[in-house]
Amino acid sequence: MPATTSARPVLNWPLMENNILREDLDALIRYLQQPEPMLTQSAQVRAFEEEWSKWLGVRYSVFVNSGSSANLITMCALRELRGPGDVIVPTLTWVSDIASVLQAGFTPVFVDIDPHTLGMDVDQVLAKVGPNTRAVFLTHILGYNAVNQKLLDGLKAKNIPLIEDVCESHGATFRGKKCGSMGWASNFSFYYAHHMSTIEGGIVSTDDPELYQTLRMFRSHGMVREVNDPAFKENWIRRHPDLNPDFIFAFPSYNVRSTELNAVLGRAQLPRLDVNNKLRTRNLEAFLGGLDSKKFRTDFAVEGSSNYAFTLVIREPDPEYRDRVQTAMREARVEHRRGTSGGGNELRQPYLRRLYPEEYKKYPQVDHVHFYGYYIGNYPALPPTRIKELTAFLNSI
């Protein structure tokens, strides 16, 4: 008979803890105590964009109200600048990645995952690049770097833009370069559960000046007055002499601006991001090193990783054992999410099953994570003794 969980400890392990500190709130209070603080998008947003670009190692960044909005305007800009076609996407990602591809009018082309990175299988990506491919939209899952030189060289040779979703992987690197600095565009999220938080918020980063100006317009109703390059703006004004220059709407767009308050929080948090990431990496190595590798997968590609969550993937497809693991974690109050990022195989979700009813059956690697993979919270304040307690608990199941 399998052991029950009744004798095991109650760990009280949340997904995230203390991600917005008292010092962040104090910075916000100081800002609000000014005689007439600006609240809508203004100087604080511009300063945060500049500081973030410097940290990432890119020329431009556009701050928006969520990572999902960052995905949306990136796909809209891609459609405007590159035209309609296909976008290669992962089967393991957050819903807004694939939703933004659909919303911008592209056709998603799916690939399975590499079980060592949880990102897209690079060989499958390159095999599916075709004449209608407009971009590869890659997700760095839960802090693992998902690019390699073969992918970068292959896309460059075929002149296919790489778009990086780095919402879950702030600070992850490949050969010394930060993820998010290697593609045509990159998207980040500052949701509460991620490496740093503006409560809600996201950013798009790029080195491409035309893309940057296009993103600035898509962020705010498609208005040309949002452009900050005089020559770029003048070109639009000259082509539309019958319009008030303050009200030229170049695209049928959205309002996804963020606020000065969110930017103040981002500026307060950014200086400690690198230090916190080192602690998270230390924690991940201790977690994977403490797991029983006969029960759980421990051979993840940790080099350059920056994980805000622990990846727990059961090694063999055993439904009975999986159910015991889930029950034990619930009883011990270990908060977790099955399927890891986005709940697992996106093709099993209703919004995609309606469009591609049988497609979900073709991707065995992501299906294993869908049914036997989890993530558990990893935050800087975790002491090593707590991680040992967690791994001992999991190994005892």
Among the residue ranges 5-19, 114-128, 212-226, 244-258, the one predicted with the least confidence is: 5-19
Q: Tell me: the pLDDT tens digits for 124-159?
A: 999 999 999 999 999 999 999 999 999 999 999 999
DSSP string, 57-90: T-SEEEEES-HHHHHHHHHHHHHHHH-S-EEEEE
Using alpha carbons, list the distances in angstroms from residue 359 to 83, 109, 158, 254. 26, 10, 27, 32
Residue ranges, CATH 3.90.1150.10, the chain:
274-395
Residue ranges, CATH 3.40.640.10, the chain:
22-270
Alpha-carbon span 114 to 344, nearest angstrom:
14
Q: What CATH superfamily classification does 274-395 receive?
A: Aspartate Aminotransferase, domain 1 (3.90.1150.10)
- Write down the pLDDT at residue 95: 98
Q: What is this structure's pTM?
A: 0.95
Within 13 A of 205's CA, how many CA atoms are on the CB side?
A: 28
Among the residue ranges 3-7, 23-27, 40-44, 378-382, the one predicted with the least confidence is: 3-7
Domain with residues 22-270, CATH architecture: 3-Layer(aba) Sandwich (3.40)
Residue 343 has pLDDT above 90, yes or no: yes
Using alpha carbons, list the distances in angstroms from residue 229 to 103, 212, 236. 28, 10, 11
Could you give the residue ranges of the DSSP H alpha helices within the chain? Answer: 22-32, 43-56, 67-82, 95-103, 122-128, 149-157, 209-219, 230-239, 260-269, 273-290, 319-331, 350-353, 364-372, 384-395
Q: Tell me: the pLDDT tens digits for 44-93?
A: 999 999 999 999 999 999 999 999 999 999 999 999 999 999 999 999 99
Name the nearest CA neighbour of 171 among 152, 151, 186, 185: 186
φ and ψ at residue 362, rounded to 5 degrees: -95, 5
Residue 2 has pLDDT above 60, yes or no: no
**Which tokens belong to 377?**
């919270």
pLDDT bracket for residue 265 (50, 70, 90): very high
DSSP string, 312-357: EEBSS--HHHHHHHHHHHHHTTB-EEETTGGGSBGGGSHHHHTT-T
**Mean pLDDT taken over the chain:** 96
Q: Name the percent of the chain lying above pLDDT 90.
A: 97
3-state secondary structure of 364: helix
- Write down the pLDDT at residue 3: 42
What DSSP state is assigned to residue 162?
E
Query: Hey, how many other C-beta atoms are within 10 angstroms of the C-beta on 257?
Result: 18
Cβ proximity of 236 and 269 under 8 Å = no
